[in-house]
Amino acid sequence: MKKNLKYNLTWLAIAAVIYFGLFALYNGGVINLFTDAIIANIGINIILAVSLNLIIGFSGQFSLGHAGFMAIGAYATAIITRDNPTFGGFAMGILLGMLLAGVIALAVGIPTLRLKGDYLAIATLGISEIIRILIINLSGLTNGPAGIFGLPQFSNWQVIFIMMTLSILIVSNFIHSGPGRATLSVREDEIAAESMGVNTTKYKVTAFVLGAVLASVAGSLFASYQQSVFPQDYGFMKSIDVLIIVVFGGIGSTTGAVVAAVVLGFLNMYLQDFGNLRMIIYALAIIVIMIFKPSGLLGTWEFSVKRIFNKFSKKEDDSNASTNS
């Protein structure tokens, strides 16, 4: 435990350095409204990608329903801050979204996670579409297809950054905990894991629920940052966008998810200048990257503080460095 604390503190220190770097950039006036939107978007995409990577990359369950859980968080926050425009209301919205997303993920996860591979993908896709259609049709609560706008903005880049750091810490600590190891064993070989006494359903559902809860947080932040929610923002394409980030970074690498979110965020920023050609270039980029580097940018490689520590302390040989942290 104490050892983990050391690594986590190092991580927090790294995060603090990046935070103050950004802070200096903001105060120095380097960042305008446009770059601020890019940074906020990257932060939100990192939360989404890291949480989807937990489901796809670490537990090996192919989910296409991430946008649905994001929509739950977004709408919970939007509805609460519409009636109660205080910071407390915003916090309550996030918590309610997390709770709702968790409960729904649990309810749909237990039966659907029995399905395998593509069938699970289609079932989760169906669930997220059902959530979206319910949002469109429950217009008394959600204002239907017109969406809700004019919300107070509580999530700025600082809130997003803190939440992003927390999500990364939660996910990476989960992976290196006992349940996390069990989850990885389910990914490697479900039948073998089961025969070794691992309760596969339990760990699959745990990862799925945790991923869904984090997606809901990302949705809350997104709604509050955009100051509006529209049902069409949380369609099938949103799930695909997140999936592209995960695959682009390397399935099963948290570092990869972060790097890919940053790279794609900046790519999108530069592509803005191309106007209508933007989506064509983006699509071509996806195809070309997948053909030439199908394992993603980083594969399953992780940036690891522990390895660096080990390198400096050099107590033993490097063989235990591969059991990274």
- Residues found near another protein in the complex (CB under 8 A): 56, 62, 111-112, 114-116, 118-119, 121-123, 125-127, 129-130, 133-134, 136-137, 191-192, 195, 236, 240, 243-244, 247-248, 251, 276-277, 279-280, 282-284, 286-287, 290-291, 294-295
Residue 25 vs 237, nearer CB to another protein: 237
CA 188, CA 104: separation in Å to the nearest integer?
27
Identify which of residues 80 and 207 has a Cβ nearer to another protein in the complex.
207
Q: Is 217 helix (H, G, I), strand (E, B) or coil?
A: helix
- Residues facing residue 228 across a β-bridge: 149
On whether the CB atoms of residues 12 and 165 are closer than 8 A, the answer is yes
- Minimum CB separation of residue 306 from another protein in Å reads 28
Nearest distance, CB of residue 232 and another protein, angstroms: 12
Dist CA 322 CA 307 (whole Å): 8
Shortest approach of another protein to residue 91 CB, angstroms? 31
For residues 162, 168, 174, 180, the Cα torsion angle rounded to the nearest 10 degrees is: 170
Shortest separation between residue 276's beta carbon and another protein, angstroms? 5
Least distance in angstroms from the C-beta of 228 to another protein = 22
**Cβ pair 305, 258 in contact under 8 A:** no
- Tokens representing residue 232 in the block: 């069409």
Give the span between the Cα atoms of 60 and 193, in whole angstroms.
13
- Which residue's CB is nearer to another protein, number 99 or number 136? 136
Q: Of 40 and 251, which has the nearer Cβ to another protein?
A: 251
- Decide whether 129 or 302 has the Cβ nearer to another protein: 129
Tokens of 257: 């998810």
